[in-house]
């Protein structure tokens, strides 16, 4: 059996978090993951307070297990949503896209476990100083908004930098990845891309099909010019966008307008013409649609086999 | 189906490109493909046409690949 400090901290059976995914991770996916023994997370993305509250209540009706809400700090509704998670007594808050320090006192005061996503040791130290319960060290292999460092470089350095449990994210989708994360010092993992194709995930079928079909080199980063790189599947739209970024005749405004709403178009409409299909590099290893429970159970069984078998090179 | 059409089909299928954007004079750069993508293209082309291709500096465009295939067929 695998049991880590993350299981105790969050009251979950398996140390596996389903990452917040804007436009994708709703109450149904979160509840399915929590019912399977992991920690499901609803993505508040840029949504207004009413939607977030409704999703929280829906998740509560679907599971009695703890679940979390991912708050995007760049959201125009961040103040409102930050208050709603307190009112609704959510168990866990994860944060993305920025520094959550401003809100942490209120969340921690309400008994919420706060787990920021960090992409550097500096950010990890800062959020821990402000009371973070754990941190998610997310490498640039991930889907969505990404930092520079890779998971294998970032995770051990974050483990050395802070004294709270570290959750590794980015490029993990099987037992080998989790065993490696443990070897790097993490006591849990967060997966996004792997749960994109969960049966309970309501993303458009075209999106799932593209993730299932993707091979190792089928993702790229866009948004480099704006300083907010995003990892997406390579399609014509992503290539055109990347080209526009290097064209000095294209204004920042024109670029922003061109990309506006592209994740929603991908996730909700399955639109390959104008859609940004955010996805991690590990997509190449993801071959079939399975339930959240099947995903977690098979991955944990493989992890256990690997870590109890030890390293085959040690005699 | 012409060799060109078949190559376009391979590119569209493997690299999620729009067929309408691909012409004989399209360079890899125009299509946003890097050297790793062209390695895959060569392998797909070899499988589809049963030929063996050498990807070198002379192959810069879709048309170059088409010509190379036709020379070998
Ligand atoms: C489609 C997609 C959308 C995402 N949206 C968010 C988000 O809104 N907030 C956030 O903190 N992380 C977001 N992420 C990152 C995930 O929560 C998770 O950390 C990441 O997917 C882990 O890497 P992996 O994709 O290699 O498993 C997103 C990832 C994907 C694939």
pLDDT at A312: 83
- Indicate the residue of B18, B31, B37 with minimum beta-carbon distance to A217: B37
Residues A272 and A292 in one domain: no
Assigned domain for A312 exists = no
Give the rounded percent of residues in chain A with a pLDDT score beyond 90: 88
Q: Which pLDDT tens digit goes with each residue over A102-114?
A: 899 999 999 999 9
Residue that has been written with the tokens 């063996």 in this structure: B52
A242 in B contact zone (CB under 8 Å) = yes
pLDDT at A93: 98
Report the residue of chain A nearest B33, measured CA to CA: A239
Radius of gyration (C-alpha) of chain B in whole angstroms: 11
DSSP collapsed to 3 states, chain B: CCHHHHHHHHHHHHHCCCHHHCCCCCEHHHHCCCHHHHHHHHHHHHHHHCCCCCCCCCCCEHHHHHHHHHHHC
DSSP assignment of A63-120, as one string?
-SS-EEEEEETT-TTHHHHHHHHHHTT-SEEEEESS--HHHHHHHHHTT-EEEEEESS
**Which of A138, A86, A87, A139 shows the shortest CA–CA distance to A113?**
A86
Give the model's confidence band at A155: pLDDT under 50 very low, under 70 low, under 90 confident, else very high. Answer: very high
Assigned domain for A77 exists = yes
Q: Which pLDDT tens digit goes with each residue over B25-50?
A: 999 989 988 878 887 888 888 889 99
Mean pLDDT of A154-162: 97
Ligand 1 neighbour A193 (Cβ under 6 A):
yes
Active-site position among B16, B29, B30, B34: B34
Residues A222 and A96 in one domain: no
Rounded to the nearest angstrom, the distance between the alpha carbon of A168 and the centre of ligand 1 is 12
Residues A95 and A76 in one domain: yes
**Mutation for testing the A interface, residue in B12, B14, B16 having most A CBs under 10 Å:** B16
Assigned domain for A219 exists = yes
Whether residues B16 and A243 touch (CB distance < 8 A) is answered with: no
Nearest Cα of chain A lies from the Cα of B24 at a distance, in angstroms, of 18
Assigned domain for A195 exists = yes
Sheet of A113-118, strand order: A16-18, A188-191, A166-169, A135-138, A113-118, A92-96, A67-72, A40-43
**Which of A137, A156, A157 shows the shortest CA–CA distance to A147?**
A137
To which H or E segment does residue A188 belong? strand A188-191
Assigned domain for A314 exists = no
Q: Which pLDDT tens digit goes with each residue over A260-275?
A: 899 999 999 999 999 9
A246 in B contact zone (CB under 8 Å) = no
Q: How many domains does chain A have?
A: 2
Residues A190 and A210 in one domain: no
CA pair distance A241, A221, nearest whole angstrom? 10
Residues A188 and A236 in one domain: no
Q: Is the pLDDT of residue B57 over 80?
A: no
Q: Is the pLDDT of residue B55 over 80?
A: no
- Indicate the residue of B18, B36, B37 with minimum beta-carbon distance to A236: B18
Residues A229 and A83 in one domain: no
How many C-beta atoms surround the C-beta of residue A113 within 10 A? 20
Ligand 1 neighbour A18 (Cβ under 6 A):
no
Whether residues A239 and B18 touch (CB distance < 8 A) is answered with: no
pLDDT at B53: 83
CA pair distance A66, A41, nearest whole angstrom? 9
Ligand 1 neighbour A19 (Cβ under 6 A):
yes
Residues A59 and A104 in one domain: yes
Residues A110 and A132 in one domain: yes
- Indicate the residue of B15, B32, B40 with minimum beta-carbon distance to A243: B32
- Indicate the residue of B17, B36, B40 with minimum beta-carbon distance to A236: B17
Ligand 1 neighbour A147 (Cβ under 6 A):
no
pLDDT at B66: 94
Residues A171 and A265 in one domain: no
Residues A197 and A211 in one domain: no
Q: Is the pLDDT of residue A310 over 90?
A: no
Give the model's confidence band at A307: pLDDT under 50 very low, under 70 low, under 90 confident, else very high. Answer: very high
Rounded to the nearest angstrom, the distance between the alpha carbon of B22 and the centre of ligand 1 is 33
Q: Is the pLDDT of residue A238 over 90?
A: yes
Q: Which pLDDT tens digit goes with each residue over A124-146?
A: 998 998 999 999 999 999 999 99
Considering only residues A75 and B35, tell me which one the structure prediction assigns the higher pLDDT: A75
Assigned domain for A313 exists = no
Report the residue of chain A nearest B38, measured CA to CA: A217
Give the rounded percent of residues in chain A with a pLDDT score beyond 70: 100
**Which of A123, A70, A81 shows the shortest CA–CA distance to A101?**
A123
* Range from A106-115, A116-125, A180-189 carrying the lowest mean pLDDT: A116-125
How far from A219 is each of A143, A207, A272, A276, B6, CA to CA, in Å? 9, 13, 14, 11, 24
CA pair distance A92, A115, nearest whole angstrom? 7
Assigned domain for A315 exists = no
* Paired tokens of A104: 């942490």
Give the model's confidence band at A7: pLDDT under 50 very low, under 70 low, under 90 confident, else very high. Answer: very high
Nearest Cα of chain B lies from the Cα of A246 at a distance, in angstroms, of 12
The whole domain housing A217 covers 205-282
Contacts of B17 in chain A (CB under 8 A): 236, 239
Residues A160 and A231 in one domain: no
* Paired tokens of A23: 């436009």
Ligand 1 neighbour A117 (Cβ under 6 A):
yes
Q: Does residue B37 carry a catalytic annotation?
A: no
Residues A77 and A17 in one domain: yes
Mean pLDDT of A167-188: 98
Residue A142 DSSP label = S
Atom number, ligand 1, closest to the C-alpha of residue A139: 23
On the CB side of A255, CA atoms within 13 Å amount to 22
CATH number for the domain spanning A148: value is 3.20.20.70
Ligand 1 neighbour A68 (Cβ under 6 A):
no
Assigned domain for A159 exists = yes
């Amino acid at each position: 059996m695998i049991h880590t400090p993350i299981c105790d901290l969050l009251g979950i059976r398996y140390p596996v978090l389903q990452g917040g995914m804007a436009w994708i991770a709703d109450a149904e996916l979160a509840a399915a993951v929590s019912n399977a023994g992991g920690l499901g997370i609803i993505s508040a993305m840029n949504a207004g307070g009413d939607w977030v509250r409704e999703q929280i209540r829906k998740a509560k009706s679907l599971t009695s297990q703890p679940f979390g809400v991912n708050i995007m700090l760049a959201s125009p509704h961040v103040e409102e949503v930050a208050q709603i998670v307190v009112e609704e007594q959510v168990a866990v808050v994860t944060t993305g896209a920025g520094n959550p320090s401003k809100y942490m006192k209120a969340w921690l005061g309400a008994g919420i476990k706060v787990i920021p996503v960090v992409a550097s040791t500096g950010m990890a130290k800062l959020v821990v100083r402000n009371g973070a319960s754990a941190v998610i060290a997310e490498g640039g292999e991930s889907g969505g908004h990404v930092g520079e460092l890779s998971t294998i470089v970032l995770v051990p350095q974050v483990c050395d930098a802070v004294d709270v449990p570290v959750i590794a994210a980015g490029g993990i989708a099987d037992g080998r990845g989790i065993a490696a994360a443990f070897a790097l010092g993490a006591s849990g993992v967060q997966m996004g891309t792997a749960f994109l194709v969960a049966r309970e995930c309501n993303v458009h079928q075209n999106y799932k099909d593209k993730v299932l079909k993707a091979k190792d080199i089928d993702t790229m980063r866009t948004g480099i010019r704006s300083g907010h790189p995003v990892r997406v599947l390579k399609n014509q739209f992503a290539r055109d966008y990347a080209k526009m970024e290097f064209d000095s005749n294209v204004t920042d405004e024109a670029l922003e307008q061109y990309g506006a709403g592209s994740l929603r178009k991908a996730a909700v409409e399955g639109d390959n013409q104008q859609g940004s299909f955010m996805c991690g590099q590990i997509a190449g290893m993801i071959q079939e649609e399975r339930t959240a429970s099947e995903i977690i159970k098979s991955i944990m069984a493989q992890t256990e086999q690997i870590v109890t078998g030890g390293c085959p090179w040690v005699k | 189906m012409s060799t060109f059409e078949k190559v376009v089909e391979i590119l569209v299928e493997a690299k999620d490109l729009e067929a309408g954007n691909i012409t004989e004079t399209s360079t890899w750069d125009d299509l946003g493909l890097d050297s790793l993508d062209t390695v895959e293209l060569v392998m797909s082309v070899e499988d589809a046409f049963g030929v063996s291709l050498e990807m070198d500096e002379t192959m810069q465009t879709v048309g170059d690949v088409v010509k190379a295939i036709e020379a070998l067929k």
